[in-house]
Amino acid sequence: MNYERIEISQLAPALGAEVSGVDLSQPVDVATAGEIRRAFAEYLVLFFRGQDLTPESQVAFASLFGPLGTYPFAAPVAEHPLVIPIVKEPHQTTNFGGLWHTDTPYLEQPSLGSVLYAREVPEYGGDTMWASGYRAWETLSEGLRATLEPLRAVQSAARNKAKLRVDHLKDGSMRGHNVEEMDVRQAEHPVGRTHPVTGRKALYISPAHTTNFTGWTEAESAPLLDYLFSHITAEENTCRFRWTKGTVAVWDNRCSLHYPLNDYHGQRREMHRVTIEGERPV
């Protein structure tokens, strides 16, 4: 695609691009917003370095992609009800969401995407990886795609709860915030998900949340799910991003996974996240 209002630098063959030429602290004009949305559809995750955002300007940028919602298991920052803090303190050993996952697949209408703003980053470490569900689906064999086509999978908020969130349940932004709902929140969605904008199909599974295929036991599901988890996160399906303070990322949960690396113990990292509401997967 040709872009006239923004500059694009692709990060990896599978997905990911850095965008320059736009100041997200200011209102984004209609033409520029249209190009950003086109790039979003093409690259799945976009990065904007050197930004200086308030909670209000972060929310305004996120609104370019659709209606905004809330994350059910964390309290927002005092300055804005739609912005949640994602913090790892130096004493904590687990990081928020520290497994390969897509956000909120356990909801009947999972989020469309998220906007993450880096307010404080460690001196080293703390990268995030993304994986393309499109490329994962398209590189499966024809026979396996035919097997998966009619299948749905169960997505559970309780799966890997302790591994993902144990420090944050004790003394982070998740402390006491609807935590009891984690054990009952789950939904079933197609394994092959059709994107409502591009029409492409993506492998829609989440290693952090997918427990089994609908109508299969967890034991029966495990061998195939393990293969699919390793396939979607294979190196050729991914990109890796090194954060700097002031970077903004927006990603498409409908066709990508992400994995925040937990390799910076003893250092502090603070991000602010805004959730973009989504639709029921088909």
* CATH code of the domain in which 72 resides: 3.60.130.10
Record the pTM. 0.93
Place 171 in a pLDDT band, splitting at 50, 70 and 90.
Answer: low
pLDDT band at 48 (very low <50, low <70, confident <90, very high): very high
Question: b/e map of 180-208 (b: 16 or more CB within 10 Å)?
Answer: eebeebbbbbbbbbebeeeebbbbbbbbb
Give dist(CA 65, CA 14) in Å, integer: 22
Query: Has residue 176 been placed in a domain?
Result: yes
Structure token digits, residue 23:
């100041």
Task: Please check whether residue 2 lies inside any domain of the structure.
Answer: no
106 and 204 Cβ atoms separated by less than 8 Å = no
Q: Tens digit of pLDDT for each residue in 117-151?
A: 999 999 999 999 999 999 999 999 999 999 999 99
In a domain, 281, yes or no: no
Task: Count structural domains, the chain.
Answer: 1
- At residue 94, the pLDDT reads 85
Say what the pLDDT of residue 177 is: 52
Domain assignment present for 194: yes
The per-residue pLDDT for 142 is 98
Sign of CA dihedral 250, 253, 257, 262: positive
* Domain-located, residue 155: yes
**185 has pLDDT over 60:** yes
Region of 104 on the Ramachandran plot (φ > 0 left; ψ -120 to 50 alpha; else beta): left
pLDDT in tens, 98-124: 899 999 999 999 999 999 999 999 999
Please check whether residue 1 lies inside any domain of the structure. Answer: no
- List the domain range (segments joined by +) for residue 37: 7-276
Domain assignment present for residue 121? The answer is: yes
Q: What is the pLDDT of residues 190-248, one digit of tens each?
A: 999 999 999 999 999 999 999 999 999 999 999 999 999 999 999 999 999 999 999 99
Closest by CA position to 55, among listed 76, 83, 75: 83
| Average pLDDT score over residue span 72-81 | 87
pLDDT at residue number 72: 80
Q: What pLDDT, on the 0 to 100 scale, is given for residue 204?
A: 98
Catalytic residues: 101, 103, 258, 273
Predicted local distance difference test score (pLDDT) of residue 166: 56
